[in-house]
Amino acid sequence: MSATEEQLIPPTMLYRFEVPCHTVDATWNASSGITLGDACRLPTFGVLDGRQPFADVRMAWSADGLFLTVDVTGKQQSVWCRETQLVESDGVQVWIDTRNTHNVHRASRFCHWFLFLPTGGGSRRDAAIGTMLKINRSKDDPRTMNQVSPKVVSKIKHGGYSLGAHIPARALDGWDTAEHRKLGFNLAVVDRELGWQTLAIGPEFPISEDPALWQTLELVG
């Protein structure tokens, strides 16, 4: 590889990042979600590639599963969400591999893709949406596919929105915190106005379908 070719590789492609996910005692509230402290804030390694963050993202876990909060700021336009165009909508996408496998390029049944929208659902199109999507080119779908719905609450506010989500342990095929404390993990906050805020590399790579491009989330505490 030439020096010029090396310069074209984004810094986030040169490393696989491992981030801690702390345990919490709090439980999910159907109306208000969950509050996560500063220790639960996830880093944004995309800044190494010059991408500036626009969302505060936090994650935690318990025996009940995974918890997520996202606070998006800096929008000038209204939030754009459509139940018929989930992937193209403003929202949050999360990928979880309960076996943390990074040497294959096609998803196994342990790989999951969750999507959360702050609005766009229901008869009035103002309800938050939480769902699991099928991963393109996957060898097998999770046995939990569409068996357990993730939970989500949101609030639209001036300049953005706040969103809380709970991925129940029952929705994660292979969830076993006694044997597997490290998860393959990727996350993207997608906004039609502000762009993509990702944990590491961006949508110029096939991050939605290739678990070899995901990072590692370590369950600690």
Contact yes or no for 120/152 (Cβ under 8 A): no
Contact yes or no for 201/213 (Cβ under 8 A): yes
Give me the sign of the Cα torsion angle 120, 166, 131, 188: positive
3-state secondary structure of 1: coil
Contact yes or no for 149/30 (Cβ under 8 A): no
Residue 5 has pLDDT above 80, yes or no: no
* Dihedral Cα 20, 21, 24, 30, nearest 10 deg: 160
Q: How far is CA 44 from the centre of its chain?
A: 12
pLDDT, one tens digit per residue, over 186-218 is: 999 999 999 999 999 999 999 999 999 999 999
pLDDT, one tens digit per residue, over 126-170 is: 999 999 999 999 999 999 998 999 999 999 999 999 999 999 999
DSSP classification of residue 110: T
Contact yes or no for 211/111 (Cβ under 8 A): yes
Residue 15 has pLDDT above 80, yes or no: no
Structure tokens, 137: 């080119």
CATH assignment of 45-220, given 2.40.160.10, 1.10.357.10, 2.40.50.140, 2.60.40.1190? 2.60.40.1190
Structure tokens, 68: 């997520």
Residue 6 has pLDDT above 70, yes or no: no
CA 140 vs CA 38, 66, 115, 137, 203: distances in Å: 37, 22, 19, 9, 23
Kindly state the average pLDDT of the residues 47-54: 83
pLDDT, one tens digit per residue, over 59-90 is: 999 999 999 999 999 999 999 999 999 999 99
